[in-house]
Amino acid sequence: MLRRLFTSPSRPEQAFGRIFKNPVGLAAGYDNDVLAWRGLACLGFSHIEIGTVTPHPQDGNPRPRLFRLVEDRALINRLGFPGRGADFVARHLDYPRPPDLALGINLGKNKDTPLEEAARDYLDLVRIFAHLADYLAINISSPNTVGLRRLQGRKALENLLRVISKERESILSNNPEVRRFPILVKLAPDLTDEELDDALEVIIGSGMDGVIATNTTLRREGLFSLRASETGGLSGSPLLPLSLSVVKKIHRFTQGKLPIIGVGGIFNADGVQAMLDAGAVLVQIYTGLVFQGPGLVKQILNAL
């Protein structure tokens, strides 16, 4: 019934070696524990990104931790990767899914894992989800896990992506039944140009398959809501110009050779088209769905 209600035009896009039925996906953070994806899939998304998933269950940050900034059409969250852990998610993923839906898994380290041991968490997650996901996303850019964004630094990122790349090759060589799974890296919008260039050089050099740009921002310029002073990551309309700028820089730096999923502040078809024009091959929404409701994907695709 839901599928019929939200049926929308097909607008195929090719990325990461597969065809997506349209460019619009659901960003990570909406369904951390893979409990809602079947219903969400009926809304017309071409892909849904589950997570962020951590190796072990954790509560996340203390409540309240999610705030709606109505005047700014924005959210601030400081969730901190709450979830039931990788084993729970894996058990609930190992079921048939619609053939026209791609599932990505967004991977993050546990809060109590020391930063110098973060690679261990990511490697455990890659091993668990290699055969269950259509792509994996390495989340090193959430502002709500202490120190996590330091993994975007050149040296730390080189060390992390080198072992992840080696682990992928080991999985593929030892498991012929597992097809090659794309690995993307999700970056923050708050990197300087030099930091972004360094990160992109590492991502390309380590053989990663793409970038998700961007995560939430710590910036607060131009906000009107009384909630603007809450700590955490800001998403929604104020993020769109910043995310667009990052997507353009990535596209220019990589000469369009590194696929980009554009995320941040998309509320309508104009936002989607702006992301595609900036160089993204796919887009994701989150806060737009919260404010605009379940018909947003259909509205976007009808207007593109």
Catalytic residue list: 142
Q: How far apart are the first and last CA of the chain?
A: 24
Distance (Å) of CA 2 to CA 6, 8, 234: 6, 12, 31
Token duo for residue 161: 């992506």
CA nearest neighbour of 89 among 70, 75, 108: 108
CA 266-271-276 angle, to 5 degrees, is 115
Degrees to nearest 5, angle at CA 128 with 92 and 157: 125
Yes or no: say if 300 and 279 are a contact pair by the CB < 8 Å rule.
no
Bin 6: left if φ > 0, else alpha if -120 < ψ < 50, else beta.
alpha
Write down how long the chain is: 304
d(CA 98, CA 136): 19
